[in-house]
Chain A
Amino acid sequence: MGIILNNISKSYANVPALDDISFEVAPGELFGLIGPDGAGKTTLFRILTTLLIQDRGNAAVAGYDVLKQYKDIRNHVGYMPGRFSLYQDLTVEENLTFFATIFGTTIEENYDLIKDIYIQIEPFKDRRAGKLSGGMKQKLALCCALIHKPKVLFLDEPTTGVDPVSRKEFWEMLKRLQQKNITILVSTPYMDEAELCDRIALITNGKILQINTPEAIIASFPKKIYKVRSSNTYQLIQDLRIYPDTHSAYPFGEYLHFTPKSEAFGPMDLSKYLEERHHKGIEVKETVATIEDTFMDLSKAQE
């Protein structure tokens, strides 16, 4: 009774947005769609929330078919689109009452579900939604998407442009909602958030690169990976580009992540090469891949 997608494809004027997408989200699962702007995440959300019709394939949400039973789906899902879509001229409380009324319920009836989130914005309940800060808008939008006690919750990039502190709080809220048996499909361009999901799908250019638990995806990274640094990062990138044994070299925080072409690669060889090129403070150490390493490796292979 979660979400099922079979061979979903969708094009806009011959430009494919989604290409043969299939996966399932189990009831009560927190499932992440991880991919950059333009990957097709929003198109997928719009098909599953019955706002857009797919070209091919079929999909079911909470046991209802997205085409034949679209009205049932609309009653049983909550959807928080990427763009803020509440009424800017209504107050916080008016927005919430409005959405409750549309779904034939009241704030009191399902207050339990939104209480944790709503108490944070309740001091501003008479303020117009348009005048709220980004973080508060996001909390209000989440309350409005939850007020009818949906079985499945769709969140399209809820944390884009949000600072790290508010992002962390938002994910703590999602974890609590999951405890209340709500199936959650959430998309994000922030790869570090992937690790907070039960399972994730890495998506780019309308195609799924991989689906699995975050741990399994990290473990599947096919190469040895090293973190490398020296006192001049820019020069380090340039020199690694022309090093004969480089498969990839990308900045990762204070280090560069480096993968070699050959199996026989020895870190000492690289240190020596960098010394010859007058680098100071050289460090080459084996490290563990992240979701982002995997994503880049898979999208590079796809090109």
Chain B
Amino acid sequence: MAKDNMIQVENLTKMFGDFTAVNNISFEVGKGEVFGFLGANGAGKTTAMKMLIGISKPTHGAATVAGYNVLTEAELVKRNIGYMSQRFSLYNDLTIKENIVFFGGIYGLSSKDIKEKSQTMINELGLHDMTNSLVGSLPLGWKQKVAFSVALLHNPKIVFLDEPTGGVDPITRRQFWEMIYREANRGVTIFVTTHYMDEAEYCDRVSIMVAGKIEALDTPKNLKSQFRVDSMNQVFLKLARNIE
């Protein structure tokens, strides 16, 4: 494995009975890269992501994430990655502060670290007046920004973001992407799924899954010239339509 690769995937396959959900995919993601993992609903993205974060075992193939083997070192993978999804991120019945303390504890940070980290995080988010508000009372966009920061509490080398901006208002959605850029600039690798095709353009490289396979993988610029279109939306429509 090249020493700067944060994700290295070789011939990864997952079968459920006779159904091949993920069919022999291979790719790598470099350190500090923003990698967009796209595909239609049911294309196999979630299944692939579950294998990469160490909660589902591959049927064939191998993958290394943050330097650890997902099959034999799943616990180490989990400790060295961050993860947030649209569905479950934080506890609505806890305050922002309580969520930070809780997740900090889960990741084994000392109380001193938690205190320092939460101070930095609250400063960066500009959340001073709201640290004692219940997370459930925050607008969705704020929840997602807090959830992203919480996913970074333990300084993971790579963060997996599963549709982090679905339904978020356009201004907050862009603030969220600025946070992504900032972390990538600090060297954190970002692995992100989205249904917003303008966000696909923000990624350094993008892969598009169709029916369990990766049908395209390149920079947005190269994909657009390869398919002779001017937006990632058109690339996506062309690929997913043609296969059917």
A residues contacting B by CB (< 8 A) are 35-39, 133-135, 157, 160-168, 189-192, 204, 233-234, 237, 250-254, 292, 295-296, 299-300
Q: A38-B139, A164-B236 are in contact. Are A299 and B169 (CB under 8 A)?
A: yes
**Stretch from B67-75, B92-100, B178-186 at the A interface:** B178-186
Q: Is the CB of A166 within 8 A of B202?
A: no
Distance in Å from the Cβ of B163 to the closest Cβ of chain A? Answer: 7
Q: Is the CB of A160 within 8 A of B166?
A: yes
Q: A164-B197, A253-B232 are in contact. Are A189 and B167 (CB under 8 A)?
A: yes
Q: A38-B140, A161-B163, A252-B198 are in contact. Are A233 and B170 (CB under 8 A)?
A: no
Q: Is the CB of B198 within 8 A of A234?
A: no
Can you report 11 residue pairs joining A to B where beta carbons are below 8 Å apart? Answer: A36-B169, A37-B169, A134-B41, A161-B86, A161-B163, A161-B195, A164-B233, A234-B178, A234-B182, A251-B177, A251-B178
Q: How far is A168 from B169 in the complex, measured between Cα atoms in Å? A: 21
> Taking the complex as formed, is B228 at the interface, i.e. its CB lies under 8 A from any CB of chain A?
no
Q: How many A-B residue pairs have CB under 8 A?
A: 99
Q: Is the CB of A164 within 8 A of B170?
A: no
Q: Is the CB of A254 within 8 A of B221?
A: yes
Q: Is the CB of B139 within 8 A of A37?
A: yes
Q: Interface residue tally of chain B, by bracket?
A: 35 or more
> Taking the complex as formed, is B1 at the interface, i.e. its CB lies under 8 A from any CB of chain A?
no
**Nearest residue in A to B233 (C-beta to C-beta)?**
A164
Q: How far is A234 from B174 in the complex, measured between Cα atoms in Å? A: 12
**Nearest residue in B to A256 (C-beta to C-beta)?**
B174
Q: How far is A299 from B141 in the complex, measured between Cα atoms in Å? A: 15
Q: A165-B236, A165-B241, A253-B232 are in contact. Are A135 and B41 (CB under 8 A)?
A: yes
**Which chain B residues (191-222) contact chain A, with CB distance < 8 Å?**
195-198, 201-202, 220-221
Q: Which residues of B contact A191 (CB under 8 A)?
A: 170
Q: A161-B163, A163-B195, A165-B241 are in contact. Are A234 and B236 (CB under 8 A)?
A: no
Q: Which residues of A contact B133 (CB under 8 A)?
A: none
Q: Is the CB of A37 within 8 A of B168?
A: yes
**Nearest residue in B to A250 (C-beta to C-beta)?**
B174
**Nearest residue in A to B196 (C-beta to C-beta)?**
A190
Q: Is the CB of A234 within 8 A of B184?
A: yes
Q: How far is A253 from B40 in the complex, measured between Cα atoms in Å? A: 19
Which residue of B167, B184, B198 is within 8 Å of A253 (Cβ)?
B198
**Besides the known contacts A160-B167, A163-B40, A163-B195, 4 further A-B residue pairs in the complex with CB atoms under 8 A apart:** A35-B169, A36-B170, A38-B139, A251-B198
Q: Which residues of A contact B177 (CB under 8 A)?
A: 251
Q: Is the CB of B220 within 8 A of A254?
A: yes
Distance in Å from the Cβ of B148 to the closest Cβ of chain A? Answer: 16
